[in-house]
């Protein structure tokens, strides 16, 4: 009886010790990860409007998303060292200030060059958000909140990715294209307040300034940055058929080799690559990249289908994608409880299986599918992605030590960006090539079934009869209608192939889940890790 009273007293003391500050800090970092994810997606959906407003052509405008992602990649790589010198709180507050002013001035740019510079600066600022979110969850969040922090972080990524189309469509229809950037200026002050009041202060570590591995950071920036540019621009520029893409791939490959050689041999490397020698850590990063591939590739296929086949606008597309975002709100609490009670590997495998099933459901796609036809598969995919992402983050945060959090956060940011970019680049190229193949095959069938083709053209002729002035115009219209029908069917078959490929990747992730480490139960994080601990993570 006495022991029970003591345990109750300790539990009450622990509950009181949590206070409100961790909640404020969690709100701040979660808002940051939402902004970092939303930044690229909203800009992607609003790219045509941005190009038109800035007077930029297609080729110039294609660099808008590249500039933002490149900035995020560079600052994400630098986070372990920056956190070791100044502390995570100061770096996060600096990133908020840089992002705020970049988003504020971006719509005021008079030309595409000014907008690209603002986008790059916004990427530099927001690139600190996700790595430092991981640091906060691993090192600062009390044990009772750890599972909820993990679930909220994963939920936030899903919501940010899938509400972007609705937001962009609303701004264009009801406000202005400028709100694509200005929306963050409304959220960043709230994030700043949460970080300012909820994250503990770290003492600056001036000694770390003398141990800067500048060469390692430069090699990492060049290597990973060049790869990112090549992935983002490769499909538009025809990959190896373009000198810029080939140069980026060559620079990236050589720089990565130099980076790895330097970090392995340096006494104080910028990033501790030895962590990747652990099979457990490597498997989790492959899983994270795999699911980013799945999420962003399917987030590309559905909107592209609706745009090409159904002529949907962004707001109409958002009505489909929001069904992936909406269930996340109701899954947070159950998932937080679930990952505390069972091995996250089981929920990871279940999530991967649900995503594969959802993708296979869409292989029944036809040219008549619209919003309602996608809803069953999208809801199943939403549940599967939530299970999988929450499980991966739980495994990462439970497996790594607090002094490894900064480096692991940088690796997660790199894996997230490159995995997602690889997913979109692959799907863009895959759909384009498969459409060309199916169009050629369908064309052969059109030629081989001359009687059926003639009947089809005759039916088209009755449709356009009386609407065109001359017989030659009517003949051209009939042929154009047939060509459009063949092209649409070729696209449908290409999208079916894309969902089959995504289902294959999800199946691979399901198989790989069996090799994920068995995570220990979460333990109380240290009360206040010193800046020197973060420096050890960087070296």
Is 162 found in the same domain as 83? Answer: yes
CA triplet 155, 158, 164: central angle to 5 degrees? 130
How many structural domains compose the chain? 4
Which range of residues forms the domain containing residue 232? 213-269
Residue 472 DSSP class: H
Average pLDDT over residues 39-66: 75
Rounded Cα distance between 432 and 237, Å, is: 13
8 Å CB contact between 252 and 486: no
Residues 3-25: b if buried by 16+ CB within 10 A, e if exposed? eeeeeeeeeeeeeeeeeeebbbb
Instruction: Give the mean pLDDT of the chain.
Output: 77
Is 143 found in the same domain as 90? Answer: yes
SS3 content of the chain, % helix, strand, coil (to 5): 85, 0, 15
3-state secondary structure of 208: helix
Answer whether residue 305 is part of any domain: yes
Q: How confident is the model at residue 2 (pLDDT cuts 50, 70, 90)?
A: very low
Q: How confident is the model at residue 527 (pLDDT cuts 50, 70, 90)?
A: very low
pLDDT at 533 over 50: no
Task: List helix spans (H) across 449-538.
Answer: 450-464, 471-512, 531-538
Tokens encoding 319? 């009505």
Given this model, what pLDDT does residue 190 score?
92
Answer whether residue 531 is part of any domain: no
Answer whether residue 529 is part of any domain: no
Is 345 found in the same domain as 302? Answer: yes
State the pTM of this model. 0.76
* Helix and strand totals (H; E) in the chain: 21, 0
Rounded Cα distance between 435 and 428, Å, is: 11
Is 449 found in the same domain as 310? Answer: no
Give whole-number Cα distances, 525 to 194, 254, 280, 395, in Å. 20, 39, 21, 15
Answer whether residue 399 is part of any domain: yes
Q: Which of 191, 212, 233 is the last residue of a domain?
A: 212
What angle do helix axes 179-198 and 112-126 make, rounded to 10 degrees?
20
From 189, 212, 346, 356, select the one nearest 270 (Cα to Cα): 212
Given this model, what pLDDT does residue 534 score?
35
pLDDT tens for 75-95 read 888 877 787 777 778 888 999
Q: How confident is the model at residue 399 (pLDDT cuts 50, 70, 90)?
A: confident
Is 136 found in the same domain as 53? Answer: yes
Answer whether residue 15 is part of any domain: no
CA triplet 409, 414, 417: central angle to 5 degrees? 120
Is 190 found in the same domain as 280? Answer: no
Rounded Cα distance between 108 and 100, Å, is: 14
Q: Which of 246, 269, 292 is the last residue of a domain?
A: 269
Is 198 found in the same domain as 92? Answer: yes
Is 394 found in the same domain as 299? Answer: yes
Half-sphere exposure of 131 (CA within 13 A, CB side): 40
Is 181 found in the same domain as 76? Answer: yes
8 Å CB contact between 95 and 129: yes
Is 243 found in the same domain as 100? Answer: no
pLDDT tens for 336-347 read 777 778 888 888
pLDDT at 15 over 90: no
Average pLDDT over residues 461-478: 54
From 420, 428, 72, select the one nearest 237 (Cα to Cα): 428
Tokens encoding 470? 């001359």
CA 308 to chain centre: 23
Q: How confident is the model at residue 465 (pLDDT cuts 50, 70, 90)?
A: low
Average pLDDT over residues 321-342: 75
Is 204 found in the same domain as 121? Answer: yes
DSSP code per residue over 157-201: HHHHHHSHHHHHHHHHHHS-TTHHHHHHHHHHHHHHHHHHHHSPP
CATH number of the domain that residue 59 is part of: 1.20.1250.20
Answer whether residue 246 is part of any domain: yes
pLDDT at 473 over 70: no
Is 96 found in the same domain as 196? Answer: yes
């Amino acid at each position: 009886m006495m022991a029970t009273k003591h345990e109750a007293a300790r539990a009450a003391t622990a509950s009181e010790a949590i206070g409100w500050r961790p909640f404020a800090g969690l709100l701040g970092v979660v808002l940051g990860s939402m902004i970092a994810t939303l930044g690229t997606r909203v800009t992607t959906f609003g790219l045509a409007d941005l190009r038109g407003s800035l007077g930029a052509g297609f080729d110039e405008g294609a660099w808008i998303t590249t500039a933002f992602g490149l900035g995020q990649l560079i600052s994400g790589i630098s986070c372990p060292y920056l956190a070791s010198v100044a502390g995570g709180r100061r770096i996060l507050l600096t990133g908020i200030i840089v992002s705020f002013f970049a988003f504020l001035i971006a719509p005021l740019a008079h030309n595409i060059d000014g907008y690209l510079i603002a986008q790059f600066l916004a990427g530099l600022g927001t690139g600190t958000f996700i790595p430092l979110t991981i640091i906060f969850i691993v090192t600062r969040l009390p044990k009772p909140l750890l599972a909820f922090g993990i679930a909220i972080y994963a939920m936030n990524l899903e919501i940010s990715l899938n509400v972007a189309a609705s937001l962009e469509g609303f701004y264009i229809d009801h406000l202005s294209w400028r709100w694509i950037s200005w929306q963050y200026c409304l959220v960043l002050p709230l994030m700043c307040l949460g970080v300012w009041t909820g994250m503990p202060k770290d003492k600056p570590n001036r000694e770390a300034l003398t141990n800067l591995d500048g060469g390692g950071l430069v090699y990492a920036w060049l290597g990973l940055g060049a790869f990112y540019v090549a992935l983002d621009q490769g499909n538009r520029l025809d990959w190896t058929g373009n000198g810029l893409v080939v140069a980026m791939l060559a620079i990236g490959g050589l720089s990565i080799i130099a980076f790895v050689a330097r970090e392995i041999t340096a006494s104080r490397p910028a990033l501790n690559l030895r962590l990747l020698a652990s099979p457990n850590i490597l498997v989790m990063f492959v899983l994270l990249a795999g699911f980013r591939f799945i999420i962003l590739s399917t987030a590309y296929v559905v909107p592209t289908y609706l745009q090409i086949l159904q002529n949907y606008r962004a707001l109409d597309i958002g009505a489909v994608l929001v069904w992936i975002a909406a269930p996340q709100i109701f899954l947070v609490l159950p998932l937080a409880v679930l990952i505390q009670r069972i091995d996250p590997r089981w929920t990871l495998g279940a999530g991967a299986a649900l995503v594969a099933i959802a993708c296979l459901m869409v292989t029944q796609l036809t040219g008549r599918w619209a919003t309602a036809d996608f809803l069953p598969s999208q809801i199943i995919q939403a549940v599967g992605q939530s299970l999988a992402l929450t499980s991966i983050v739980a495994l990462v945060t439970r497996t790594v030590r607090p002094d490894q959090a900064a480096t692991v956060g940088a690796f997660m940011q790199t894996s997230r960006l490159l995995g997602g970019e690889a997913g979109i680049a692959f799907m863009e190229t895959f759909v384009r090539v498969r459409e060309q193949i199916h169009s050629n095959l369908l064309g052969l069938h059109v030629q081989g079934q001359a009687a059926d083709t003639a009947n089809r053209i005759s039916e088209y002729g009755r449709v356009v009869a009386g609407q065109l002035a001359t017989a030659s115009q009517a003949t051209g219209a009939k042929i154009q209608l047939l060509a459009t029908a063949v092209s649409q069917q070729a696209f449908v078959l290409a999208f079916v192939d894309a969902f089959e490929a995504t289902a294959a990747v999800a199946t691979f992730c399901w198989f790989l889940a069996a090799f994920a480490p068995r995570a220990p139960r979460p333990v109380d994080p240290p009360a206040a890790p010193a800046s020197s601990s973060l420096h050890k993570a960087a070296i």
